[in-house]
Amino acid sequence: QVQLVESGGGLVQPGGSLRLSCVASGRLFSGNTMGWHRQVPGKQRELVASITAGSSPFYADSVKGRFTISRDNAKKTVYLQMDSLKPEDTAVYYCSLYMSANLYWGQGTQVTVSL
């Protein structure tokens, strides 16, 4: 069974930075893609960034140039470095793992950008 555990959320002022981490446990197969999504109340969950097993990244237009996704396959961990944060980045951030036609989710971590 695959489990994902996020950490690193919190409260930050506009213009600040946060780094999210997500550790996967269980049996992982090669070729998986990990990612970060976010959701605010009343809206659909949206993809923020994803990264393949070969470390090819994808970013939503809204975060390009500000967020950086990376992964450490040996540690089964994916990171999201978030810089130049804006109030509109406020959301619950979820880690995801796509593997063998299955999509797994973490429990989410709150990120709040406010004065």
The strand pairing partners of 37, in sequence order, are 47, 94
Q: Whole-angstrom Cα distance, residue 104 to residue 58?
A: 18
Confidence at residue 31, expressed as pLDDT on a 0 to 100 scale? 83
Confidence at residue 111, expressed as pLDDT on a 0 to 100 scale? 98
Confidence at residue 108, expressed as pLDDT on a 0 to 100 scale? 97
Confidence at residue 91, expressed as pLDDT on a 0 to 100 scale? 98
Q: Whole-angstrom Cα distance, residue 94 to residue 113?
A: 16
Confidence at residue 30, expressed as pLDDT on a 0 to 100 scale? 80
Q: Whole-angstrom Cα distance, residue 70 to residue 73?
A: 10
Asked whether the CA dihedral 18, 111, 20, 40 is positive or negative, the reply is negative
Confidence at residue 96, expressed as pLDDT on a 0 to 100 scale? 97
Chunked into runs of 10 residues, the chain (115 residues) has average pLDDT values of: 95 98 91 95 97 95 98 95 98 96 96 97
Instruction: Tell which residue, 40, 57, 52, has the closest CA to residue 94.
Output: 40
Confidence at residue 28, expressed as pLDDT on a 0 to 100 scale? 83
Who contacts 108 (Cβ-Cβ below 8 Å, separation ≥6)? 6, 39, 92, 93, 94
Confidence at residue 1, expressed as pLDDT on a 0 to 100 scale? 86
Query: How much of the chain is in helix, strand and coil states, percent to nearest 5?
Result: 10, 55, 40
